[in-house]
Chains A and B, each alone.
Chain A
Amino acid sequence: MKPFDYARAASPPEAVAAVAGNPAAAFLAGGTNLVDHMKLGIAAPEQLVDISHLPLDKIEGTDDGGLRLGATVPNSDLAAHPLVRQRYPVLSQALLSGASGQLRNAATTGGNLLQRTRCIYFQDVTTPCNKRNPGSGCSALEGYTRYHAILGASMDCVAVHPSDMAVAMAALNARVEILGPSGDRSVGLHSFHRLPQDQPQRDTVLEHGELITAVVLPPLPEGTRSAYRKVRDRASYAFALVSVAAVLRLEEPTETDDGDGPASPPKIAEVRLALGGVAHKPWRATFAEEALRGQPATEEKFRRAIDAELQHAVPLPDNAFKVTMVRNTVVSVLRELCGVDQSSGGAGTPASGGEDRP
């Protein structure tokens, strides 16, 4: 690690000023990603501005019935918070499926959003990587791509964003509150992370010196259900191969049954689907959402809807399986959330994000 200066900021504006005034400065909160990167030579800031002691660690209700999550709230506290568990189970489940307890105790809301890809080439400074070293080339493109993107990638970068939390937040239409040198702004979570295009070195729309102060979750209408499901190579403590965050509301069909035929399935009044492990950002499956909205909740509709999304997939040699895996996992989660019996294959599996599923 290159020597650097370390200072604790006394207030958010002071922190912003300190980082904004030095192109080689960086914010430090839980450190779970940045400190590793400094050890590996991926990051070499000359000054660290520790924000972990700032009063950004509250979880508060908003006037409209949503929640404001402070940027330095530890992931473990956020997952365990009663209001989060009660109103936004998808978020709690996503958090608990990420990393491990020891890391969640240190990792923060803001830091989790800003964690960088686990692409193994990005993390090894001896290989070319456009994200780490713009213009040097993408080693993954023709390399080992099991964990790489199938949606929204470019020839310059096929990395995926590793966060589980952010996937849930994308499905919750969260907004990111940002303090910068010239004032506040707020960005929708979905627009916060970027696609790689020809600038994979930029993960998000944050400018240097801008500080995440909170993430705001809008309220969910009564009757909304949500779930997070993560598929990974190990039962616990592994990044997602694919993950699915689903938030939806059903309404009973308007025409009443005559009592003889089979009951009509409920209709999907509102649905938001976000996918993890498939793109450079949490991927809102908007084509699938559109295909589902107002439709009866049947497995057939689920399948067609996700296929509408996946027709845009461009898998790589090692990860073609992700197309099937996304399709099956989305159908599985929707089936569970909508209480639909499976037509074939798996039964209604619990769409829980707990770490200890059998």
Chain B
Amino acid sequence: MRVQQPAATGLDLERVDGRAKVLGLAPYAYEHPAENPTYLYPVQSTIARGRITAIDTAAAETMDGVVAVLTHLNAPRLADAADKELAVLQSDEVGFRGQFVAAVVADSPEAAREAAARVRVQYHQEPHHAALRADHEDLYKPEQINAGLETDTQAGDPDAALASAAVVVDRTYTTPAEHNNPMEPHTTVAQWEGDRLLVFDSTQAVHNARKTLAPLFDVEVEQIRVVAPHVGGGFGSKGLPHAHVVLTALAAKVTGGRPVKYALTRQQMFFLAGYRTPTIQRLQLGASPDGRISVLTHDVVEQTSAIKEFAEQTAGISRMMYSADHRRTTHRLASLDVPVPSWMRAPGECPGSFGLEVAMDELAEACGIDPIELRVRNEPAIDPETGKPFASRHLLACLREGARRFGWERRNAQPGTVLVDGWRTGIGVAASTYPARRQPANTARIRFTADGFYEVQIGAVDLGTGAWTALTQIAAEALECGPEQVRLQIGDTDLPVATVAGGSSGTASWGSAIIGAAQMFRKEHGGFPSAGDTSEGDGERNPAGKNYALHSFGAQFAEVQVHADTGEIRVSRMLGVYSAGRIINPRTARSQFLGGMTMGIGMALHEQSVMDERFGMIVNHDFADYHVPSNADIRQLEAFWLEEVDEHAGPLGARGIGEIGIVGAAAAVANAAYNATGIRVRDLPLTADKFLT
């Protein structure tokens, strides 16, 4: 580990977008000026599976201000209807409750909404399945899982190893469906000018959005422009275009060129904007009496939608986290008549770490050793999955630093023994990890302006993470100029191609392209450029990936209080220490870590999307009933990181920070709750009723 030298990166630079945001002037998708706009309000299916037999739109069509009522009978045809999530209003089939079955476009949002309420839809209802069960009869093995990973892996003979292990932990853990719920609802404003489509979209990837849309509308990507200068959070749910983007662009085909504006209501987001799949995870850990793990199996059952497959890589974490000669991971899907699951902050690692890291806590107790010491004893020398060396693995340093700062030595190993003012109190730990990904296919352009600024252009997106700021710093450092001399332009497909703001890959991927462009610029134009001088540079796939396993690591510590009478549970203290390579901006980075930990507290204590199997409906589909942490739920939070530059992580030395803060957080809370109460909860969330005695 080296302490980095202060340069433009590493500076605690104030947010570039801060001023516009505190003035209320930063335009999100809905805020862009639109001439003579129309407003869309959808009609959603009220059955989970079946066919539309009749739609009565007469009452809606005759209402004042209604421009059009679209159904599968009259909607323009899409050129490609293969993706059934995106093939909106293309057939009479209904694949889940809440699916778009019609849409009203009107002169005012009020008229659109009222007219939509008057559309009458009749269905032929077919039997549906909407509840995930471990013994679901038609479980199947997907060809691959998210991020292109193998569905199953095996090493050695896990069953035999389990049979002969001295200590075995064999437990099943469940995590519920969870919804991303960024504060800005998914929003699209679409306008056709002839055969060119302009879209203001709340998206994590403008270039990917237009690449997805182009074949649907049978146009070239160059005919579509997607703009997203500011995005009000996404956490994965805005990474891939969902049905509303297509619906809005489709509706804009029938308005005579008028723009169509559509922001999902919060309630609609629970059906139409992706979510984290629920998981059922069986973990088996076999170890020697002194806690050395010989066998680790992680078998996952999770759900996908019958209309589109999404396979979360839940057990991926168990392939690389700890050493074990015998190992198995599997993923099986239940194909259900439910909304389409998708990415939510740290897909795979986030739910998977709950199973693995609580199981580790159970193993530590079974062996009678400290949970940190257990992890020390099972620290692999090389990546158990690939056999490659880790480019950088500082898990133990994170654990030790965290233990020191958190006061781990004060933990009472005997659970349920500390009572403070009526609250049972305990502390717990969990490890965290996230792969370091760098996406190829990024290009940046740098142009020197007549007034002496460097215009840095890349079609990246800042969904709130701080990309505006971090990329400005990266450009300044690469150009060896001050940040104030950089004019960054992002969030527009008119800018050079860039990959998604997701997978904790944005800064490293885009930053590499910017560094490439800066190097090219200096090579082509030297240190004293003339106005108009322009260069482009590309990012590239990280060559170190061939020889090294690239992951970030972290340690999560939580102190939990459980009320002895009522079972109410609070996280009174949480502390994370991360090793994520180079930190570009401490201010935005700390906020990302703390935000991830906070969402992890939400996952631990509150968040669950409840499926009513009878209706195929997520019943708690608003912010009153789907609880995310309120301010009162978040007490003392601290995030630290190891000062390091990962020389194998590319020219920036950074590995990405957006997701590691949530990984392991729920397990740390659950382990602390066990330490506090002696009650082991293996099913999230940890609600008060589970601690009542």
Contact = CB atoms under 8 A, between A and B. Distances in A.
* Chain A complexes with chain B: yes
Given A41-B117, A325-B689, A345 B565 contact: yes
B565 A124 contact: no
A22 interface: no
Interface string B605-623: 1100010101101011110
Interface residue SS majority, chain B: loop
Given A143-B612, A325-B689, A358-B423, A120 B566 contact: no
* Size class of the A contact interface (CB-based, 8 Å): 35 or more
Interface residue SS majority, chain A: loop
Interface string A127-155: 10000000000010011100000000000
B619 A234 contact: no
Interface stretch (B67-75, B239-247, B519-527, B626-634): B626-634
Query: Which of B110, B605, B619, B622: most chain A CB closer than 10 A?
Result: B619
Interface in B649-693: 687-689, 692-693
B419 interface: yes
B511 interface: no
Contacts of A124: 617, 619, 621
B421 A231 contact: no
Contacts of B622: 123
Interface string B114-155: 100100000000000000000000000000000000000000
B565 A233 contact: no
Contacts of B419: 346-347
Contacts of B605: 234
Contacts of B617: 124, 126-127
A349 interface: yes
Contact of A239 (B563, B612, B624): B624
B567 interface: yes
A330 B520 CA distance: 72
A228 interface: no
A265 interface: no
Contacts of A41: 117
B631 to A, nearest CB: 7
Contacts of B570: 235, 358
Contact of A234 (B614, B627, B635): B627
B104 to A, nearest CB: 14
A139 B614 CA distance: 9
B422 interface: yes
Contacts of A112: none
B423 A143 contact: no
A236 B563 contact: no
Contacts of B689: 241, 321, 325
Contact of B630 (A118, A234, A349): A234
Contacts of B566: 231, 325, 328-329, 332, 346
Interface string A226-245: 00000111111111010000
Interface in B53-88: none
Contacts of A71: none
B46 interface: yes
Contact of A331 (B565, B635, B687): B565
A126 B116 CA distance: 13
Given A236-B631, A238-B627, A144 B610 contact: yes
Given A142-B614, A321-B692, A1 B606 contact: no
B632 A143 contact: no
Given A324-B692, A332-B566, A346-B419, 14 more contacts: A39-B113, A41-B117, A120-B621, A127-B617, A139-B615, A232-B568, A233-B627, A234-B627, A241-B688, A325-B567, A329-B566, A346-B423, A349-B564, A358-B561
The 5 closest A-B pairs by CB, nearest first: A346-B564, A236-B632, A321-B689, A349-B422, A235-B632
5 contacts: A233-B627, A237-B632, A321-B688, A345-B565, A358-B423
Interface of A: 1-3, 39, 41, 118, 120-121, 123-124, 126-127, 139, 142-144, 231-239, 241, 321, 324-325, 328-329, 331-332, 342, 345-349, 355-356, 358
